[in-house]
Structure 1
């Protein structure tokens, strides 16, 4: 047996299995490899285990001799071994936490034993053995503690014309995937079952090819099988399309009120139709301005229970559209949710401070702000005008200055009065699509200089 580095595709080690001819069926768990071997002669086959982390792995034999190379399946500290194609068949269960392995018993079905085995699998938690038996119209799950049948997964769409060929359990234990072949060997079907209820929740078929026994495998949430052309023997990989098996639901709740330039919070939840928590999932967030242009794309993540929230600071008033999308996975259909938030103009609080009295010819300095909440404002305009009521009642008015306030809303201006009287400075914030207009005033009494 050779060990190959999958990055460099070079042989890194050779392990001598001369004493264990025709190694055929492999099962890997952590650093241990279990091998069903045998060339078809009575007593020369069996199961052997290797600790791959050892510099020179020493094969350790498990169980009695067999004629055919046994099918093997392993999860946690449980190993299954069953010789295919023999009648009656038995599935031997071993505890591999000890060396050598400790027999825990046999799955026999009944006193007459099982029909011949075609495939054997084990759930990730090692609680159930899955079997494909010749001359049956189902897949069976066996309790690995009581060694009795736990449930049966009924036939798929081809059951009236063919037989099961392969079975496997999804890594999360939620699904059992069984493969069927038509009696003519030219049509294959993969059927996905709910592991607990045995409900058929998805099926896909492939014409012109047969499913190779024992070839169902998982990578992440993808399901794979191996197909064989009946006439040529040519092999093909078959991957189930990312068609989902279950539905999902996604909600998005928007705030009842929102204001331009102020942060608002939106929230929602992703739920799965089977009631299981979705775990941490990545959602796609799309946002549109009132003029229809899109804002930068963003990804957000859910909590393990599917809840999520995000914040946004609308840059203007108007109707903002939000859409959250979960693309789904191989088990669940994706879903989207949308909400429209009507954003009101920012309502400024305009204040001005300055001296209450002054003297003709002396500079008066004023400051003010309309900002709050730590908001950063876009460019806007403030105008300042002055009205003077002289001692004789004469009124004069003048536009003094046009200002561009700082991003935090602060501003300042100055004036040097040339006449005595009551000076009223009116400050106006010019409104736009972001900020409501506002105005305020400040009064300073200006006196003639004393001699």
Structure 2
């Protein structure tokens, strides 16, 4: 018979006294605990161990397997997992920073000493110091091949200078390439093309120069915006030299450098206002990352189409985090975050952000499931347009209400990407499932989650043995506990209570249920009369509670 708060079994008087005694006992229900949302295990946040004023400058540049971050009087070096390897210190006034594509060296501009220093990533030491005393107020660095380009300009009326030097030479010396722009310039160089801001004509205009001969020949200008634009745009060139990218507060633009015509806009979404504060182009020229002030965080765009391929909000937990600088390394995006209040610099790594997106959908049945009974979930893996999912393995994880998780056997997609997961929840409550595809060399992995409401399984007890016994002789009873049609799965114990002939009740302790569901109880009654032996399962996270009783008449011996 099943014990419930509103329905009592119709048993004899001793049994009713027993039920009254048990009235204060509560059958244990399955505890429902919401499991924490799964964070990306690959993404990382590294405290760089330095403090920086918001007025100070920081740059990040990467090459090979190294990431370089400038901060005040030092350049910090991490690997591409975001692990801090060390720092090069005693570098007064680090302003600009560029790394070679192989990550062997980085070049840092020191405003206080009018130098550009060459840093060896392996030894974390300065290997060369290049004197720029003749070219004060260094405002920008650019590296193209073995040529390091520098831009200088102290004020709008003193004139600006652009130089180049061959870093492969034993003793490189800067050579003046361009003068007389009358402002503090920003530059970008790739291949035979040099970009330079032209604020003397309009703040948003950019001059395009051919530098194939070592000198600068003006090819034309990019009309970078409407007359209301009052600040210089950020600018860069794709590594193949074909496309310029300009960054304005309202969004980003790409321009064809052969025809000097605008190609498309990025991130200019009236429904999601924000301000671009940093940007980066991937080494292969396929992706553009934008760092936005406020809630938009980081967005990645397909440079050729303008489509958004990835978004990630800035992590919460610190006051007003802000992106200072960013770069793309392989398939990952690295951003340097400044947080007011703490002023600590952190390196935020988004792994595989530049890969093509995929998606996993997972659906749970609408109806309530039952513990120890199969439940089926369905889903679908979707890859980028033109790619067939085919037969692919998915990692499946089950999370129980108590927070524990178990990896289930792999699910496999069909040719069209559809799949199903069949599982038997061992406990009641809200049971969650994660289905993950790890991704490939070109496509980012993805995960979907779904939850199933699981009810407790019914339980039943049997109890049998002698119905008569002699006073003073040992009495044994046997029984079985079942969870639905199954043997119990939680190794439960049963409470044994004896209702005595004089109207009292005696708790005889507990008996453990075997894996098969069987149990045995023994007792030696010492009075004549009618006894009622009851075994009680109070219920647990898997099954409901139940009770069963057995009557025994005890008489005097001959």
What TM-score results when the alignment is normalised by the length of structure 1? 0.51
Number of residue pairs aligned between Structure 1 and Structure 2: 265
How far apart in 2 are the matches of 1:60 and 1:10?
26
Within the candidate set 119, 125, 140, 1:4 is matched to 119
Matched, 1:57 2:181: no
Within the candidate set 292, 304, 310, 1:196 is matched to 304
Matched, 1:126 2:241: yes
Q: Which residue in 2 is equivalent to 1:409?
A: none
Q: Which residue in 1 is equivalent to 2:265?
A: 152
Matched, 1:237 2:352: no
How far apart in 2 are the matches of 1:128 and 1:93?
11
Matched, 1:34 2:149: yes
Are residues 181 and 84 of structure 1, via their aligned partners in 2, closer, same or farther at CA, if it must alter by over 3 Å? farther
Within the candidate set 252, 255, 260, 1:142 is matched to 255
Q: Which residue in 2 is equivalent to 1:218?
A: 328
Are residues 139 and 20 of structure 1, via their aligned partners in 2, closer, same or farther at CA, if it must alter by over 3 Å? same
Matched residue of 2:297: which SS?
Answer: strand
CA RMSD of aligned residues (A): 3.8
How far apart in 2 are the matches of 1:181 and 1:158?
15
Q: Which residue in 2 is equivalent to 1:166?
A: 278
Is the contact made by 1:47 and 1:81 (CA closer than 8 Å) also made in structure 2? Answer: no
Q: Which residue in 2 is equivalent to 1:322?
A: none
Matched residue of 2:155: which SS?
Answer: coil
How far apart in 2 are the matches of 1:40 and 1:61?
18
Is the contact made by 2:198 and 2:207 (CA closer than 8 Å) also made in structure 1? Answer: no
Is the contact made by 2:206 and 2:224 (CA closer than 8 Å) also made in structure 1? Answer: no
Spell out, residue by residue over 1:189-220, the C-alpha distance to the aligned partner (whole angstroms, 9 max, x if none). 111112122111211111421122xx221221
How far apart in 2 are the matches of 1:145 and 1:216?
27
1:164: how far off? Answer: 1.1
How far apart in 1 are the matches of 2:271 and 2:387?
31
How far apart in 1 are the matches of 2:184 and 2:344?
24
Are residues 326 and 229 of structure 1, via their aligned partners in 2, closer, same or farther at CA, if it must alter by over 3 Å? closer
* Structure whose CA Rg is larger: 1
Is the contact made by 2:187 and 2:235 (CA closer than 8 Å) also made in structure 1? Answer: yes
Spell out, residue by residue over 1:385-423, the C-alpha distance to the aligned partner (whole angstroms, 9 max, x if none). xxxxxxxxxxxxxxxxxxxxxxxxxxxxxxxxxxxxxxx
Q: Which residue in 1 is equivalent to 2:82?
A: none
Q: Which residue in 2 is equivalent to 1:273?
A: 384
How far apart in 2 are the matches of 1:221 and 1:43?
42
Q: Which residue in 2 is equivalent to 1:89?
A: 204
Is the contact made by 2:204 and 2:233 (CA closer than 8 Å) also made in structure 1? Answer: no
How far apart in 1 are the matches of 2:200 and 2:271?
22
1:69: how far off? Answer: 3.6
How far apart in 1 are the matches of 2:383 and 2:189?
30
State how 1:17-416 maps to structure 2 within 5 Å.
17-66=132-181, 68-82=183-197, 87-109=202-224, 112=227, 115-134=230-249, 137-155=250-268, 159-160=272-273, 162-182=274-294, 187=295, 189-206=297-314, 207=316, 208-212=320-324, 215-231=325-341, 233-242=343-352, 245-247=356-358, 273=384, 275=386, 327-328=439-440, 332-333=444-445
1:118: how far off? Answer: 3.9
1:166: how far off? Answer: 2.0
Is the contact made by 1:188 and 1:209 (CA closer than 8 Å) also made in structure 2? Answer: no
Are residues 45 and 27 of structure 1, via their aligned partners in 2, closer, same or farther at CA, if it must alter by over 3 Å? same
Q: Could you tell me which runs of 5 or more consecutive residues in structure 2 were left unpaired when the two chains were aligned.
A: 1-115, 361-381, 394-436, 448-558
Q: Could you tell me which runs of 5 or more consecutive residues in structure 1 were left unpaired when the two chains were aligned.
A: 250-270, 278-282, 285-324, 336-451
Is the contact made by 1:119 and 1:165 (CA closer than 8 Å) also made in structure 2? Answer: no
Matched residue of 1:79: which SS?
Answer: strand
How far apart in 2 are the matches of 1:275 and 1:64?
50
Is the contact made by 1:73 and 1:120 (CA closer than 8 Å) also made in structure 2? Answer: yes
How far apart in 1 are the matches of 2:340 and 2:198?
25
How far apart in 2 are the matches of 1:12 and 1:100?
28
What TM-score results when the alignment is normalised by the length of structure 2? 0.42
Are residues 159 and 22 of structure 1, via their aligned partners in 2, closer, same or farther at CA, if it must alter by over 3 Å? farther
Q: Which residue in 2 is equivalent to 1:252?
A: none
How far apart in 2 are the matches of 1:27 and 1:330?
29
1:36: how far off? Answer: 2.2
1:75: how far off? Answer: 1.8
Is the contact made by 2:254 and 2:263 (CA closer than 8 Å) also made in structure 1? Answer: yes
